[in-house]
Structure 1
Amino acid sequence: MRKIVITGAASGIGKAATLACVNAGYYVIAADIDRLGLQMLQRSLPPHRLETHLVDFSQAHVYQSFISNLYDVHNHRALYALVNNAWSSHGKSVCADSDSAVEEIWAVKLKSLLYLSKDFARRESAAGYSRSIVNITSVTGDLGSMDARYGATRAGVIGLTKANAWNFAPRVRVNAVSPALVRNTPIHDRIPGQRRRGYERQKIIEEPIQPGGVADVILFLLSEQSRHLTGKVIAVDNGACPRQ
């Protein structure tokens, strides 16, 4: 059974991706700081298809050792894919944040991706068949954001995706999913109303984007159907963002 690591797995897009991957036949190693969310996953999924880890990816010693520990401590012999979806947001102006809050956001939303990705690729680059990394970013990585930290880290994930597609080729593919406004996620209600209304006005597909719709794209990028794709950023935006 192919094993997939999903960070930020306890809610929103990460939870939807976890459910989709288990339903597709994968074994999911779900990591999050949300204890209650992980417990809810455990109650809803069969134990032989799910493994949970309560982790804080704002801590350097955690993200620098997490992948290695899956092999060396938890005895996983091989991992098929990594979905980088860990997130953190304080919902404040960058001018109002403390230095520690800024460092936490940089660590969770960008630095942890760098370490998790390189450690995964180092362990799996000699695998007999290709592996996949899927990074979750946002359309704000291209368009910009009033939240300076959020926009900067999302742009950084796009750059990291393209660089690592070169760094990890040919055995590890690296792609990103770039959603616009996604309902039923922890961050949705923190987006300013003016920004949400702007997305709504520009979209050309009316159906609201739900976490499950983003998970469908993640599942595609994990599959052999996307075997010719690497270094790509796929927008899930109802056609809105090219029109802004």
Structure 2
Amino acid sequence: MSVRTVIVTGGAGGVGRALVGRLLDAGMTVITCDIDEDGLKSLVDEHHGRPLHTYVCDVSSHEDCDRFMDAVLAAHPEVDGLVNNAGLYLGQPVWEYDDETIDRVIGSNIKGPVWLSRRFAGHLLPAERRGAIVNLASVAGEVGSSDALYGTVKAGVIGLTKSNAMNFAPHIRVNAVSPGLIVGTAIADRIPDYRYAEYKRQELLDGDIRPEYVADVCAYLLGERSRTLTGAVLRADNGSYPR
């Protein structure tokens, strides 16, 4: 079963924005949220007349997540896909974090996906409806990161994916995409030069990893052709760090 109505968090830029376009092209209804209100407005302009619905939401806020899901489930009870894409990367060593920023990074990358997945599953499972969740992890969650907190939360995303695949079976498939260094994103702009060079040196395939390429993998995991996959981590990393 391919999903038809999909929530994509963090849809104003990067992989999220590319995925919104990819899913609309495939004839799906897309509901997206972001903290970037201007980015959402430009997204609506770009896809004028298509079945796209946008909300301003900070996924690190439990209140925002509940408000968002209340609105989505009321307006689109048929929703059957969720992509937890929104996240936060600051590109700094752990000793430079204060407690407030630590809480925000954990909120954006871990708590938000937990809250949203719980509401999504709570909507589908009582009716034994089929659906799919895709979580955006990272190579950082598998091999570490110069930003130790980011490596930690992305490892958590992988753990959440595998655990929820068990929790939500057999009705909701839950998988993760683990990208390498995606060019043209905030992460690529913030990553230290030595780490950028290290990523490129480790890639087995030539060419950059672009947001739309990662979006293609996400779209695959939402579709019928990935029907046998749950609890899987698919790497969109040009072969970085073979493992």
Q: TM-score band, normalised by the shorter chain?
A: over 0.9
Moved more, 2-11 or 188-197: 188-197
SS of the residue aligned with 2:108?
helix
Cα distance per residue 1:54-103 (max 9 Å; x no partner): 1112222112443233123xx22221200001112334332122211111
Aligned counterpart, 1:49? 51
Q: Does 1:230 align with 2:210?
A: no
How far apart, in 1, do the equivalents of 2:89 and 2:214 lie? 20
| Residue identity matched to 1:24 | A
1:164 aligns with 2:167: no
**How is 1:1-244 mapped onto 2 (pairs within 5 angstroms)?**
2-72=4-74, 75-127=75-127, 130-242=130-242
| 3-state SS, counterpart of residue 52 of structure 1 | strand
Report the secondary structure of 1:6's partner residue.
strand
CA contact (8 A) 1:66 1:116 kept: no
SS of the residue 1:197 aligns to: helix
User: Structure 2 counterpart of 1:108, which letter?
Assistant: S
1:129–1:224 Cα change, 3 Å: farther
Q: Distance in 2 between matches of 1:8 and 1:91?
A: 19
User: What is the CA-CA distance between 1:142 and the residue it aligns to?
Assistant: 0.7
CA contact (8 A) 2:206 2:238 kept: yes
Q: Secondary structure at the match of 2:178?
A: strand
Q: Determine if contact 1:11/1:186 at 8 Å carries over to the other structure.
A: no
Instruction: Describe the superposition over 1:101-125 as per-residue Cα deviations: whole angstroms up to 9, x where unpaired.
Output: 1111110110110110011011012
Q: Secondary structure at the match of 1:92?
A: coil
Q: Using the aligned pairs only, state the percent identity.
A: 42
Unaligned runs of 5+ in 1: none
State the shift of 1:209 in Å. 0.6
Secondary structure of 1:125's counterpart equals: helix
Quote the offset at 1:203 in angstroms: 1.4
Q: What is the letter of the counterpart of residue 92 of structure 1?
A: Q
Q: Distance in 2 between matches of 1:100 and 1:202?
A: 34
Shift >4 Å, 4+ stretches = 126-129
Inter-partner Cα distance in structure 2 for 1:171 and 1:114? 18
Q: Quick one: which amino acid aligns to residue 72 of structure 2? A: L
TM-score (norm 1): 0.94
Count of aligned pairs: 241
Contact 1:175 1:229 survives alignment (8 Å): yes
| 1:129 CA displacement | 5.2
TM-score, length basis structure 2 = 0.94
Shift of 1:152: 0.4
| Aligned-CA RMSD value | 1.5
Q: Does the 8 Å CA contact 2:177/2:235 hold for their aligned counterparts?
A: yes
Write the distance in 2 (CA, Å) between the matches of 1:201 and 1:90.
Answer: 22
Q: One-letter code of the match for 1:220?
A: Y
